Structure formats: C-alpha cells, structure tokens
Amino acid sequence: MTREEWLRLSAILGAGAMIPNELHAAFADGEIKRSDFGKDFLWGTATAAYQIEGAWNVDGKSPSVWDHMAHKRPGKIKTRENGDIACDFYHRYEQDIELMKKMGIPIFRFSLAWTRILPDGTGKVNQAGIDFYNKVIDKCIKEGVEPWITCYHWDLPQTLEDKGGWSNRDSIQWFEEFVDVSTKAFGDRVKNWMVFNEPMAFTMLGYMLGWHAPGKVNFKKFYKSVHHVTMSHGAGGRVIRKNVKNANVGTTFSCSSVETLKHNKANDKAVTRADVMINRLFVEPILGMGYPVKDLPALKHVIKHMQPGDEEKMKFDFDFIGVQNYTRIVVKSLLLVPMIGAINVAPKKLGHDITEMNWEVYPEGIYKVIKKFAAYPNIPKLIVTENGAAFKDELVNGEINDTKRVQFLKDYLGQVLKAKKEGVNLGGYFIWSFLDNFEWAEGYRPRFGIVGVDFATQQRIVKASGKWYSEFLAGK
C-alpha cells in the first residue's frame, strides 16, 4: 500500500491521517536523505576477519577455532565450505578499500585476526600479522576511509581453545594481552575501537548449542564463558583507554525485539526470560547493574563463577554501545526448553517477508531495540554497528538488481531515523556487509553484501544496493 492509498483508506474509515508504525518507514521511501540524520552522523559498512580475509595459514598465521572446526568437522558448516580463501581480502584489500572510497563510504569496520598477531595466542608477536593490518589501516587513511577496529569477532586461537578457550578464566588475561599488543601497534592511527562483537552469539552458539566454533555442547562451559567474556569487556576496554590517546571505545551486541503473539501470564514470562538471554545478559553487568538473575534464574550458574572483586571489574564506561539488529524474535512459553523455557514461533508464520537466513523482515524491530537500549540510564551513545539482509541475488547481464535489499535498508533506516528524531543519542549506522562473505555455519549461500563477490573469480560487482548507498551518501 502506498502513502496515498493509506490516506484515502483512512479517510474512508474515519481513522484520520494516523500512519501506523509498520508503514511509516515504507512511506519514507524516496524521502529519506542523509541530511535528515545530521552532519555528524557516521556512515559505514562492517566486516569480520574470518568472513573476508582468507589466507588462513599465510605469513605465520595459526589456525583459529573456525579454521580448526571447518577443517576437522566440515559437516558443521551446512555447505561444507570454509573461510580458507573467503573474499581473499588479505591479498585484495587495496582494491576493496579503493572501491569503498569510490562508493563514498566514510567508515570501514573490520576485525583483527588474533591468530595473525599472536599465533600462539599469547607470547611471541608475529610481525607479518602486524604489518598486514598496518597496510590496511594506512590504505584506509590514504583513501580517506576511517578505520574502525573490532578486537574480537569470534576467531579465538585454537591453541587457546585447547586450554579451555573462554571457559578458562585465564582467557581474561589472554584477551588483555591481545588487546594490549593490538592497541600499541595501531592505536596511533586508529581511534575507534570495539572490544567484542556479539558476545551472546559466540558464547551460546559456540559452547552451548555447538553450531559455531568451537562446536561444544556444554552448559557448564557456556556459563563459565559468559562470565569470562563479560569480565573481558572491562579488561579490554581499560587496555584501550590506557594505550590509545583520545580513543572512542565501544562494544557491540546482537539485539532483537522479543515479542509474543498471544499475551498471557506464561507467554509474557517466556518473553522476559528470552529477552534476558537475547538482549540483557551482557550489557547489564557491564553497565554496573549485575547479571539479570531475577528475571532468568538459570543465571545463578553464571554467578557462581564470580570471584571477589569481579562485580566492580565487570563495569566499564563505554563511550558507545553498538546495537546490531536484523529481525524480531517471537516466542511462546515451553517450560521443557532448558534454561529459557520458551520456543520460537516459526518466522514464516508471522506473515512478513523472510530472508535467506529464515529471519523475518521487521523494520519496526530496529526502532524497538534502539529505544530499549536508549532507556538504560548510563549508555552515553548508541551506534547501529550492523544491519542488513541476505536475499537471493541474481546476476543478469553483469548486474545484481537486489531490489529487496534496497527496500530493506530504506525501511530499517526509516525506523532508525524515527528513533533519532525522538531524541535518542544515535551516532551512526553501518551496513552488514560491504562484501558477500563466509556466513559462518551457513557457508557462502546467504549473501549480505552491497557488493557482490563471484567466489570463483573473486570479481566484485557493486549491487543496486551498493549504488543506492553510494547515491544516498552523496546526498542524491
């Protein structure tokens, strides 16, 4: 339905000119402009080392948990693929950064592969790894693209996993050392740092459900990992503050609006429990509110790994929190499900379009999570550090006309703007992702890029969404 049709219909129905939220963004189509967000608003795209770099064993790099799992247990990846070559960014970073510049994208968010910098996890520094990121950073600066670094985007050194990984309390010191080496190497030129990417995803999928590396199904390891990763947020943040002058320090969380279709006591409680797992578990202890155990009693298993003094050390004053949103989670109560006592309602039952990840397209969800995080009293600023969609792309006459992705981005951005206009201190928006890349357990099938990659030839093709972003950024 168009805006005009809605207005006509609402006049007939006597509903006035009220536009429901879910249609609001669609109506903004064609109207939404970069300048609506203000001149200080930051724009970029985001990536992660294992998903784009390739060169998995080049120049002294050791295997990460993802290299290890993809090689030893290929069946863990739906397509039996791996990140050995990925987008070959390791050898093609110059052209890729030049393309960013050409497209007018001001910020490039990427992560550091711990295994390039410290192949043994700790100890000896691999100069070739440092050199690679120096070259990437210097190229960005030369092209006028601002580098934003994520310290950890899921690729723990396998040597450290062999010692228990994040379930070992020593992981806090290992991580501190990695952040220390990295910030000393790059902090003179890079001022924007994110400590972690989506801690809930890699702890839950990696240690409890076993879908992601290291592929463990072990509740005890999960609970311990949650606490050590929480502690590592503060530990990493403090190292960045110490080593980087004028640093802008953040960290990023996956967040989704959790809802139920039928309100009753049981379902509403299920929503509360799922909301703790999905949105609140990491951010609240970091903000100094402690673990939300009252609303999710299973968290007593996390709390028992706390040591005297931890409560204080978990707190860290981040300059910004990165919110990363893709979809909405609809649940109903099912007490048989361990820990959260809830199950998901299948996205296809919700009546909206579905992406290649089987995620519901739900623009209003990004507005809701922004408002939810903005309601915490001590978050100074929010940045949308990831948002995007995987749709089936078709290459026709050398072009990828991904109209669904363009619409998705416009609709979600409409909701981001709505939150900003309501006064949320929202500093920026980064699209996931610059390139099609290795989508973890899903392999290369779901394509999130605004630039397409032909993985056989490594050719880059700017999609219609890339052209749209470029024009949007140019103010056209």
Residues that bind ligand NOJ (CB under 6 A): 48, 51, 197-198, 324, 386, 432, 439, 448
Q: How far is the CB of 109 from ligand NOJ (least distance, A)?
A: 10
Minimum Å gap between C-beta 349 and ligand NOJ is 21
- Residue 336's CB is within 10 A of a number of other CB atoms, namely 7
DSSP-derived secondary structure for 428-459: EEEEE-SB----GGGTTSS---SEEEETTTTE
Enumerate the β-bridge partners of residue 196: 152
CB of 364 or CB of 386, closer to ligand NOJ: 386
The CB-of-355 to ligand NOJ minimum distance in angstroms stands at 10
Min CB(254)–ligand NOJ separation in Å: 6
Between 125 and 390, CB nearer to ligand NOJ: 390
Nearer of residues 364 and 439 to ligand NOJ, judged by Cβ? 439
Shortest reach from residue 42's CB to ligand NOJ, in Å? 18
27 or 434, CB closer to ligand NOJ? 434
Percent of the chain that is helix, strand, coil (3-state, to 5):
45, 15, 40
Cα atoms in the 13 Å half-sphere on the side-chain side of 358: 7
Amino acid at site 210:
G
Q: Is 464 helix (H, G, I), strand (E, B) or coil?
A: helix
Q: Facing residues of 462 across strands?
A: 451
Residue linked to tokens 């930051």: 42
Which residue's structure tokens are 């669609």?
26
What is d(CA 254, CA 202) in angstroms, rounded to the nearest whole number? 11
Q: Give whichever of 53 and 198 is closer to ligand NOJ, judged by the CB atom.
A: 198
Q: Which is nearer to ligand NOJ, 47 or 182 (CB)?
A: 47
φ, ψ for residue 268 (rounded to 5)? -65, -35
**What is the rounded end-to-end Cα distance, in angstroms, of the chain?**
25
Residue 279's alpha-carbon distances to 100, 209, 284, 352, 387, in angstroms, are 32, 18, 9, 23, 16
Calpha distance 292→205 (Å, rounded): 20
Residue 340 in tokens: 């959260």
Of 389 and 424, nearer to ligand NOJ (C-beta) is 389
Cβ nearer to ligand NOJ, comparing 62 with 197: 197
The token pair that represents 62 in the structure block: 């050791």
What tokens does 103 get? 């497209």
**What does the alpha-carbon distance between residue 162 and residue 68 come to, in Å, rounded to a whole number?**
11
DSSP state of 227: H
267 or 387, CB closer to ligand NOJ?
387
Minimum separation from the CB atom of position 265 to ligand NOJ (A) = 33
Q: Say how many C-beta atoms besides its own lie within 10 A of residue 186's C-beta.
A: 22
DSSP 275-305: HIIIIITTHHHHTTS---TTT-GGGHHHHTT
CB of 398 to ligand NOJ, least distance (A): 26
Catalytic residues: 198, 386
Residue 368: Cβ within 10 Å count: 20
The partner residues of 249 in beta bridges, in order of sequence, read 193
Q: How many CA atoms lie within 13 A of 360 on its CB side?
A: 22
Taking the complex as a whole, how short is the minimal distance between the CB of residue 390 and ligand NOJ, in angstroms?
7
CB of 342 to ligand NOJ, least distance (A): 21
In three-state secondary structure terms, 399 is strand
